[in-house]
Every structure is written in C-alpha cells, then in structure tokens.
C-alpha cells in the first residue's frame, strides 16, 4: 500500500533532498529538535513517548528522548534502512509501522470507484494507552492530505477531494487532543516561492492545510525547504512552520474555519 500510493517514493525523495539541501535545512531541523525537547518537559510522566512522522529521524532528538523516557515509539507509514539502524542503537526505542489516519489502506480499491464515498478518518490507536505520557506530531500534518490527494488525482471530483483532504487534517488535530498524556504539534502551515532576481515577478504564497486555520503558535520559523535551483531555477521555496508545546491547550478553543485552498508549487 505504501509503495503503490507513493509514500515510499516520497520518503526516498525527502532523503535525497536532505542530502542536497542539508545546510539550508539545518536551522529548521535544530529548531524542531529544540521544540520537541521543550514540549517533552511538560509531559506528566516518563513512561512512553510517541512520535508521529518520525520518518528519516533528521528532526528527531532521538538520543535525548531515549534517555528521558522508558519507551520511545517512532511511528510512520514507512521506515528507511538508516532509521532502522539508528533505532537499534537504543534498547528502549521501537519502530512502529502505522497509518495514523487509519484509512489509507482503503484508498487503492476506491481510486477507480467514484460512486463509493471516500472514508472519514477516525484514528483510535493509543487512545486507551494509560502509559502514554508524551505524543508529538512532527512535520507531518500537511503530508497527510498531500500524498492521498496526489494519488487520487483527477479520478475524484475536485470538491469531494478537497473535503476529504481537509477531513484528514482536522481528524489528526482532533486525535492529538484526545490522546492520553501531553501532546505537541509541529507543522508547516504555508509555502511561498520567492524569485531571486531583483524586481522579478512571480512571487506566490499558498496554504498547505486545506484551509484549516491553526491558533497562534508558541514558535514560528521559516524553513528553506527548496533553495534555488532545487525545485526551480532562480526561485527559493520557503515553508512557514508553527510549533505548539501544548496542543491540547492551544487547540482546545480553536476555530478551525475556512474553505479548502488549492495546492500550489
């Protein structure tokens, strides 16, 4: 399923981009690791830590978390060989292959069946885990809708697809608020493309959370995600990242309104 939907390809592409853009990415990775550790200090206990979107571990302070918690679970839909090797260095770290939406496995059979409604995401993993003291979603939220949207493409009506993608984002935010223990969130919220030539036109900016509006963050920074010419000659691509040390507190009174917006870039 992960291979057919493009998750494996996406992971390989991210790994390759990291190699090419490591220097540009470093400030973002450092800020992400710092935010995770700051949020972890707010956890009510030191039993189990769960990280959604652990991915290639570039932005995960694995050594510090392994030293702070009895058990650390690194959850993602695919795990690379380097990630597996890194996890083996710590006896209390375990890799968990998990579809955090709970519905990705259903999509391939529904791809060519426009008469069947797309499923609603309602994740329930760990909701009754009394040992779970800390959960953080790391640079994952925008990807939850992007990969399925690319997979389904023009095979579904645009309006139906937009509602489905927005539902994935909202379901993940609600899920974080329902989990036991302390929860935190780090996510990109918008991208922009900036031409480098003086006076050049074509600068653009777009949301990546399907119109979902997040509350004011505890931290915010720019991620130079694709400096020229990585994605386009003469154009830098930047992502605005928001971090929430206590998602239950920040998101509890959130007004998640707004209409789905077209993806750009």
CA distance 205 to 241: 14
Q: Where are the alpha helices (DSSP H) in the chain?
A: 2-5, 7-40, 62-68, 81-87, 107-110, 141-152, 158-178, 247-251
Q: Where are the alpha helices (DSSP H) in 138-246?
A: 141-152, 158-178
Say what percent of the chain tops pLDDT 70. Answer: 91
pLDDT tens digits, 30-70: 999 999 999 999 999 999 999 999 888 999 999 999 999 99
pLDDT tens digits, 187-239: 999 999 999 888 777 789 999 999 999 999 999 999 999 999 998 999 999 99
Reduce the DSSP state of residue 166 to 3 states and report it.
Answer: helix
Cα-based distances in Å from 242 to 11, 84, 131, 189, 250? 22, 28, 28, 7, 12
Give the DSSP letter string of 47-79: SEEEEET-TTSTT--HHHHHHH-SEEEEEES--
Residue 254 has a pLDDT of 53
Domain residue spans of the chain: 2-104+127-251
Give me 153's structure tokens.
């493409």
pLDDT of 157 strictly over 90: no
Residue 17 has a pLDDT of 77
Q: What phi, psi does 202 have (nearest 5°)?
A: 110, 5
pLDDT tens digits, 92-135: 999 999 999 999 888 888 877 777 889 999 999 999 999 999 99
Architecture of domain 2-104+127-251: 3-Layer(aba) Sandwich (3.40)
């Amino acid at each position: 399923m992960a291979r057919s939907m493009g998750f494996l390809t996406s992971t390989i592409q991210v790994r390759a981009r990291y190699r090419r853009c490591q220097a540009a990415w470093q400030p973002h990775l450092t800020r992400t690791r710092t935010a995770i550790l700051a949020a972890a200090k707010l956890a009510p206990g030191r039993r189990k830590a769960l990280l959604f979107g652990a991915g290639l571990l570039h932005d995960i302070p694995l050594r510090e978390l392994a030293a702070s918690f009895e058990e650390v679970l690194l959850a993602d839909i695919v795990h690379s060989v380097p990630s597996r090797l890194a996890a083996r260095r710590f006896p209390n770290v375990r890799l968990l292959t998990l579809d955090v939406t709970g519905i990705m496995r259903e999509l391939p059979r529904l791809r060519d069946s426009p008469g069947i409604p797309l499923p609603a995401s309602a994740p329930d993993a760990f909701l009754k885990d009394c040992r779970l003291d800390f959960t953080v979603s790391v640079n994952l939220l925008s990807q939850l809708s992007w990969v399925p949207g690319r997979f389904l493409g023009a095979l579904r009506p645009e309006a139906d697809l937009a509602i489905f993608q927005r539902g994935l984002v909202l379901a993940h935010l609600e899920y974080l608020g329902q989990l036991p223990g302390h929860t935190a969130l780090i996510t990109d919220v918008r991208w922009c493309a900036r031409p480098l030539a003086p006076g050049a036109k074509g600068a653009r900016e777009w949301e990546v959370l399907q119109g979902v509006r997040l509350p004011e963050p505890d931290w915010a920074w720019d991620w130079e995600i694709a400096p020229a010419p990585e994605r386009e000659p003469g154009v830098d691509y930047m992502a605005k990242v928001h971090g929430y040390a206590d998602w239950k507190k920040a998101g509890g009174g959130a007004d998640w309104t707004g209409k789905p917006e077209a993806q750009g870039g």
